[in-house]
Amino acid sequence: MGFEIPGEVITAFTGVPVDDSGEFQSKIRIEKIGHGLINYSFKISGSFGPDLFLQQINKNVFQSPEAVQENYLKIWNFSISKENSLYIPSPRFFNKINSIFLDKNNNYWRAFDFVEKCITISKVGIPDQARLTAIAFARFTSFFEGFDPALLNEVIPHFHDLEFRFKQFKDALINSKNYSRIEKSSSLIAALKQRRYYVSFLDNLIHSGNLLKRVMHHDAKISNILFHAETGAIICPIDLDTMMPGYIFSDLGDLIRSMTAACDESEKDLSKVSVRKEFYNAIVSGYLQIMSSKMSDTEKQNIHFAGLMMFFMQALRFLTDYLNDDVYYQVKYPEQNFDRAINQLTHLKQLENLLEEDYQFKI
Ligand code: GN1
Ligand code: MG
């Protein structure tokens, strides 16, 4: 497995003690699951009771794992308090009240009910699947209409704050000593600087007071949805760690960014880049089907800003990391963040053209 779970963690969540020889007193099966790069996740089963989903929270990404879990408990409590409840896997408690366990190595663990008979889908197939995914994330936000998003901890400060991301990019240009990377990026840097107007555009909308803060998932993509393995029905969105207050553009924009693209964000062959119109239409119409009655006029009028904002922000984040010598995103080869940034900028340009031609939407 290459990764040890201290016995005390398993004991805390399953109640199965370890004997003098270090063995569990009844058989425990541990299976590593998921492809997540952030948290480590496992399925734990045995005669102690129903299977559980055990997860170590990455404390390098989340400075306060307690704040992440506190958010989860708040939204879970809200979900079970309402009729027509949205299904969110229940956290497992130990000592009756605790749901987060700090082990002897100072790592944080939590567990949930294991959702049986479910699958995840890594890549969207047809527009209708994109529509269902958009509906699922819209339902998620819509469900929390009666919940004050300000109650959620900002677990990654300024996560989707475009002005902050632009500032990080400018700071990297000033502070980076990697002159060959700056030189290589010159046309990319110019193209991003030239689009500074996206930052002012959003700033004006925010200051108009007509954008509402809502519960946003902040990683809205098809691979963060659990589907029923047999019926294909949507069970629930997962990976709720970045759930924080945000503007509607965040989740809608991430849905557009992750599902209109015909190729992966690391694709180097730019001839493969294409923003697919039929997917765009399916995502926006699915999202609006659930959310439009809850949106302000300003939000509705500017709905097409969502995809532009998220392609732009992701290009900024990848290029910033490239200029900072790859300190944030995992890379498989040295130039990968540069390739990702060009890829996202190319998508952005295609989306700009599509919106101008088909929707007469231009900023
Ligand atoms: C990170 O690791 P993943 O794919 O869940 C990032 C997202 C980016 C994405 C780009 C906590 O998400 O914001 O959109 O990479 N998450 C964090 O691939 O930074
Ligand atoms: Mg994620």
**224 Cα–ligand 2 center, Å:** 8
In ligand 1, the atom with minimum distance to the C-alpha of 242 is 11
Return the residue whose CA atom lies nearest to atom 13 of ligand 1.
219
What confidence tier does 330 reach under pLDDT thresholds 50, 70, 90? Answer: confident
Return the residue whose CA atom lies nearest to atom 18 of ligand 1.
265
Return the residue whose CA atom lies nearest to atom 7 of ligand 1.
219
Task: Average the pLDDT over 232-253 and give the result.
Answer: 96
User: Out of 83-92, 295-304, 328-337, which region has the weakest mean confidence (pLDDT)?
Assistant: 83-92
With 50 as the cut, is the pLDDT of residue 1 above it? no
The neighbour count for residue 11, using CB atoms within 10 Å, is: 18
**39 Cα–ligand 2 center, Å:** 9
Q: How far is CA 39 from CA 42, 70, 71, 233, 344, in A?
A: 10, 17, 16, 26, 25
Looking at the chain, the whole-number percentage of residues with pLDDT higher than 70 is 98
Task: Average the pLDDT over 190-210 and give the result.
Answer: 97
pLDDT in tens, 313-326: 999 999 999 999 99
- Alpha-carbon distance of 244 to 159, in angstroms, equals 9
Q: Which residue has the higher pLDDT, 69 or 3?
A: 69
- Which pLDDT does position 37 carry in this prediction? 61
- Which pLDDT does position 2 carry in this prediction? 55
331 lines ligand 1 (CB under 6 A): no
Is residue 199 exposed (0-12), middle (13-18) or buried (19+ Cβ within 10 Å)? buried
In ligand 1, the atom with minimum distance to the C-alpha of 257 is 14
39 lines ligand 1 (CB under 6 A): no
- Which pLDDT does position 121 carry in this prediction? 95
**329 Cα–ligand 1 center, Å:** 8
328 lines ligand 1 (CB under 6 A): no
In ligand 1, the atom with minimum distance to the C-alpha of 265 is 18
- Asked if residue 75 lies in contact with residue 243, where contact means CB atoms within 8 angstroms, the answer is yes
37 lines ligand 1 (CB under 6 A): yes
pLDDT in tens, 24-66: 999 999 999 876 667 889 999 999 999 999 999 988 889 999 9
pLDDT in tens, 55-101: 999 888 899 999 999 999 999 999 999 887 789 999 999 988 999 99
Looking at the CA of 258, name the nearest ligand.
1
**282 Cα–ligand 2 center, Å:** 23
pLDDT in tens, 261-287: 999 999 999 999 999 999 999 999 999
Phi, psi of 28 (to 5 degrees): -120, 130
In this structure, which amino acid lies at residue 188? L
Return the residue whose CA atom lies nearest to atom 2 of ligand 1.
37
DSSP H stretches of helix in 274-331: 277-291, 297-301, 305-323
**pTM for the model:** 0.94
Q: What is the DSSP letter of 156?
A: S
Looking at the chain, the whole-number percentage of residues with pLDDT higher than 90 is 91
In ligand 1, the atom with minimum distance to the C-alpha of 38 is 2
For residue 221, give every residue at least 6 positions away whose Cβ sits within 8 Å of its Cβ, in sequence order, or none: 133, 254, 255, 258, 259
In ligand 1, the atom with minimum distance to the C-alpha of 254 is 14
- Which pLDDT does position 24 carry in this prediction? 92
What confidence tier does 343 reach under pLDDT thresholds 50, 70, 90? Answer: very high
The mean pLDDT of the chain is 95
With 80 as the cut, is the pLDDT of residue 305 above it? yes
